[in-house]
Amino acid sequence: MEPIKLHDGVDAMNKEGAAFQSADLEDAVAKAMAAGGYAGRVLRSDLLSVGVYVLAAGGVDGQKPHKEDEVYFAVRGRAKFRVGSDDHSVGPGTLLFVPALEPHHFHEIEEELVLVVFWAPPEGSD
């Protein structure tokens, strides 16, 4: 996977730990779209990782529960979010927290949904 362009020429994506990292959101969105909707490891440390998730209007979110806690930040778009049996409206500026292993998904995606996803511990760590 090719690293997302970071500011100041710092190639921090290949470093674990607490080094400063920065990424351009629109570059990450483009990467996510080119990769089928998700760009992981946009930013990453030993304790946290950040990805970008893009769902097309009318699209289907087929994700399964994860071993990590997640926070979603909706940058743009409109949809519903189901966690357990409850639905929540999602629009620009919405923040959502999902505990590890909790079933959840986005649905009724009215406008392309762009989400920044924060994972703790980092996505895929065991």
**What residue segments make up the domains of the chain, in order of their start?**
40-126
Give the angle 95-33-59 at the CA atoms, nearest 5°.
Answer: 65
pLDDT at 124: 86
Residue 72 has pLDDT above 60, yes or no: yes
Residue 10 has pLDDT above 50, yes or no: no
pLDDT at 19: 87
Average pLDDT value over all residues in the chain: 89
Measured in whole angstroms, the distance separating CA 100 from the mean position of its chain's CA atoms is 15
- Choosing among 3.40.640.10, 3.90.180.10, 2.130.10.10, 2.60.120.10, the CATH entry for 40-126 is 2.60.120.10
Q: What is the pTM of this model?
A: 0.84
Residue 25 has pLDDT above 60, yes or no: yes
- Per-residue pLDDT of 31-52, as tens digits, reads 999 999 999 999 999 999 999 9
How many Cα atoms sit within 13 Å of 89 on the Cβ side? 3
Tell me what the mean pLDDT of segment 67-81 comes to: 98
Sign of CA dihedral 103, 37, 24, 111: negative
14-23, 57-66, 73-82: segment of lowest average pLDDT: 14-23
**Is the CB of residue 125 less than 8 Å from the CB of residue 79?**
no
Q: Residue 86 contacts by C-beta under 8 Å, 6 or more apart in sequence? A: none
pLDDT at 16: 52
